[in-house]
Structure 1
Amino acid sequence: MKLSIFTVAAPDLTPEELCEAAAAAGIAGLEWRCKETPAELLQEKPSFWGNNQCTISPNAGDAEISRFRHAAAGYNRQTIAVTPYLACGDIEGTEQVLRLAKRLDASMVRVGVPGYDRSKPYGELFGQAVRYLKEVERLALEYGVKALVETHHQTIAPSASLAHRLVSAFNPDAVGVLYDPGNMVHEGFENYRMGMELLGPYLAHVHVKNAGWQSVSPGTTADHLNPVQWNSGWAPIANGIVPWKQVLRDLRAVGYDGWFGVEDFSGTFDTRTMLQAYADQMNTWMEEIE
């Protein structure tokens, strides 16, 4: 089983500390968060999407790239992905990150997908995404790095089927899908195995996290003639709605042999404990389903 860590989930560790902790937990793969960190955020305490200390800049120069390469090599870890926050249509930014991934020996890069908020029709956004992915496909083949569309809530690709509709016209050697069941708790749930079977050769990577739903007024008696409002939020990997043991069975059934990248946002454990708990839990589940 190939375990990796998307470093957005390790905001309080430096690249060197993250590689040390990953090695101690038996996590072999690294997915570097890629984003500029504004100067004002550097004064804040570490956080997932703010002052994340395990982040590489899209504009990284030789010294910064060398630091991340040496951190991985020093603990015999493998950089498998660079994961930025690209806007759909940003060809220049996409090529910049593909170039960075190539220098880090990464094989995958997450690319942009239009958000969906009811302000523009789906068809218009889909056309925009297809035009962008045509250019992305060309660049991915040129750089030898696969471009990934993530199943993500509040985008036009929240489910396996909608992600498949988006990528199905492209070469699966160049464009694939990052399958994220945790995101699909918020939006986009479909029978897991059916979605995997549909994705076929486009199923390129898997992120591992979990989430759940709660009433905004827990503990109160509902008026059955009025709607009850619900909110979704992150949960520990074993305690959310996603039945991960079943998902692992389904992935095995469709022949998936790729990476499993942890992205735990629950805040249940400190980062080092979370990494070890993730590795132990995934290995236990895989032993139980064999």
Structure 2
Amino acid sequence: MSHNLKLSVFTVAAPDLSPEQLCEAAAEAGIDGIEWRCKETAPHLLNEQPSFWGNNRCTLSPGASDNEINRFAQAASAHNRQAISVTPYLACGDIEGTEQIMRLAKRLGATMIRAGVPGYDRSRNYNELFDQATDYLREVEQLARTYNVKAVIETHHQTIAPSASLAHRLVSTFNPDHIGVLYDPGNMVYEGFENYRMGLELLGPYLAHVHMKNAGWQPPTDTPQAAQQDPLQPIEWSAGWRPIANGQVQWKQVLRDLKAVGYDGWLGLEDFSQTYDTRTMLHTFAKQIRTWMEEI
């Protein structure tokens, strides 16, 4: 991985900026790639304060009109930023929706979309869900070939692909030119942690993209001292988002491991810690990553 690192931002993490403001802020921070969040925003959300998954002002709708598509395309080109991904919240099996997103990606010049993966909540057997997902991905692979847009599945907690190895198991029968994995160590704090380098070595050519965020585990704040000292008293630990440098993911080690496997793709910021305002976060992130890269 060279020092002229390719940094991108997933706009889910910039809910208070318009597409134009986001591209301007990314340019100022030296972040070249834009991953557009893609989801319908329900009308009742538009009156709310901006938030990551609610009234996110930096979101493209799946059924975007020509005007809306042009607006997002122009926001990027005005500041010489590159749309690298259209990132929706597709359900596994939604072929029509997947094709719609691929068409959108094609029009924006993006080379990647996020495909759907079944959730896992103990209500359905993993093996059934795995079969359902591979049937879907077989059709997605054809679409990816047609549109020349890669479909990636993300390592994500509470799905059947929480770890590098389970994501690999899901994609391993497909052509890595068309189907890949979005590697997200921050999600793997919640579920799916494996030695980073081992996971990256296993993924090999399927490693398509990396998201950078962080999380950490803590006991409940209201646990009485006595309960904490009782070895037989169960304590419900929970995970939450943390700033990039001080969660459980040792990012400097992950960067070393990415370098070791020869990864030369994008590093996408997706910080949910709310440590900084959006513009400061973009600057801080870019500076932090460049510093770490020089140190390794």
- Scaled by the length of structure 2, what TM-score is found? 0.97
Confirm whether residue 258 of structure 1 aligns to residue 258 of structure 2. Answer: no
Going from structure 1 to structure 2, the CA distance change for 1:220 and 1:72 (only over 3 Å counts) comes to same
User: Given the alignment, which residue of 8, 16, 23 partners 2:27?
Assistant: 23
User: Given the alignment, which residue of 244, 247, 272 partners 1:237?
Assistant: 244
Corresponding residue of 1:76: 80
**Displacement of 1:229 after TM fit?**
1.1
Corresponding residue of 2:144: 140
User: Given the alignment, which residue of 13, 32, 39 partners 1:35?
Assistant: 39
User: Given the alignment, which residue of 256, 278, 289 partners 1:249?
Assistant: 256
Give the secondary-structure state (helix, strand or coil) at the position aligned to 1:99.
helix
**Displacement of 1:220 after TM fit?**
2.7
Q: Give, in whole Å, the separation in 1 of the partners of 2:166 and 2:224.
A: 36
Going from structure 1 to structure 2, the CA distance change for 1:134 and 1:39 (only over 3 Å counts) comes to same
Corresponding residue of 2:289: 282
Q: Give, in whole Å, the separation in 2 of the partners of 1:140 and 1:109.
A: 9
Amino acid at match of 1:175: I
**Displacement of 1:219 after TM fit?**
7.1
Amino acid at match of 2:197: R
- Scaled by the length of structure 1, what TM-score is found? 0.99
Amino acid at match of 2:269: V
After superposing on structure 2, the runs of 4+ consecutive aligned residues of structure 1 that deviate more than 2 Å are: 217-221
User: Given the alignment, which residue of 175, 178, 182 partners 1:174?
Assistant: 178
Q: Structure 1: where are the runs of 5+ without partners?
A: none
Q: Give, in whole Å, the separation in 1 of the partners of 2:189 and 2:246.
A: 13
Q: Give, in whole Å, the separation in 1 of the partners of 2:144 and 2:209.
A: 16
Give the secondary-structure state (helix, strand or coil) at the position aligned to 2:225.
coil
Confirm whether residue 2 of structure 1 aligns to residue 6 of structure 2. Answer: yes
Q: Give, in whole Å, the separation in 2 of the partners of 1:19 and 1:39.
A: 25
Instruction: Summarize deviations over 1:167-191 as a string: whole Å, max 9, x none.
Output: 0000000000000000000000000
**Displacement of 1:216 after TM fit?**
1.0
Amino acid at match of 1:53: R
Q: Structure 2: where are the runs of 5+ without partners?
A: none
**Displacement of 1:13 after TM fit?**
0.1
Amino acid at match of 1:257: D
Q: Give, in whole Å, the separation in 1 of the partners of 2:254 and 2:225.
A: 33
Q: Give, in whole Å, the separation in 2 of the partners of 1:50 and 1:262.
A: 19
Pairwise CA RMSD = 0.7
Corresponding residue of 2:93: 89
Q: Give, in whole Å, the separation in 1 of the partners of 2:58 and 2:263.
A: 28
Identity among equivalent positions (%) equals 73
Corresponding residue of 2:158: 154
Q: Give, in whole Å, the separation in 1 of the partners of 2:79 and 2:100.
A: 27
Corresponding residue of 2:67: 63
Corresponding residue of 1:183: 187
Confirm whether residue 127 of structure 1 aligns to residue 134 of structure 2. Answer: no
Q: Give, in whole Å, the separation in 2 of the partners of 1:66 and 1:250.
A: 39
**Displacement of 1:73 after TM fit?**
0.3
Once the two structures are superposed, the pairs formed by residues 107-122 of structure 1 within 5 Å of their partners are: 107-122=111-126
User: Given the alignment, which residue of 40, 54, 57 partners 2:58?
Assistant: 54
**Displacement of 1:226 after TM fit?**
1.5
Q: Give, in whole Å, the separation in 2 of the partners of 1:108 and 1:245.
A: 26
Give the secondary-structure state (helix, strand or coil) at the position aligned to 1:154.
coil
Amino acid at match of 2:143: L
Corresponding residue of 2:167: 163
Instruction: Summarize deviations over 1:206-260 as a string: whole Å, max 9, x none.
Output: 0000000010146734111121110100000001000000000000000000000
Corresponding residue of 1:271: 278
Amino acid at match of 1:243: Q
Amino acid at match of 1:140: A
